[in-house]
Amino acid sequence: MDYTKTIAGYQDMSLVDYDDLRGKYLTFLIDNQTFGIPIADVVQIVGVQEITAVPDFPSYAKGIINLRGNIIPLIDVRLRFGKEEIPYTERTCVIVTNISGHQIGLIVDSVDEVTTISDDQITPPPVVSSDYTNNFITGVGLQEGKIILLLDTQKILGSSEIARLTEN
């Protein structure tokens, strides 16, 4: 199955009116849990391909890929979120995102859909304790009875982690 897609039907993201993308999210699955990221943060979606391991990368960073001449570091979202590592399948995808001006691939179990979630369908993230703040969950979307944890792609990695993954 070919998972290479243009995002929200746009061939050239430089021509996109980002106001048109407000409230649109790409949803994906990790361990049967649905997550969403703003579609404006998504560059493209590709299937998993040959990954070159890089010494001294964090355990959740699986390595790099060459995507049409661009070197893209990959993080396994499953591992980043503290879940068990599983073998990649034909449904496993790489969501190439723009994080702090760098293209970084997010390995996910599968991509679900592009959906619109209005502000009135989003509640603040739950507070676990006063000692702990989950910085990358921005809210919880509820759509047709399905819970979608909304992520801030800019906060999935800290600035020092981004620098470590993207230094040449």
161 — pLDDT class (breaks 50, 70, 90)? confident
Within 13 Å and on the Cβ side, how many CA atoms surround 113?
A: 6
| pLDDT above 50 (res 26) | yes
Give the chain's mean pLDDT: 84
pLDDT average, residue stretch 119-133 = 77
Domains and CATH numbers, the chain: 19-166 (2.40.50.180)
Q: Angle 136-157-154 (CA atoms, 0-180°, nearest 5)?
A: 60
Q: What is the pLDDT of residues 53-103, one digit of tens each?
A: 999 888 999 999 999 899 999 999 999 999 999 999 999 999 999 888 889
Q: What is the pTM of this model?
A: 0.83
Question: CA 28, CA 18: separation in Å to the nearest integer?
Answer: 21
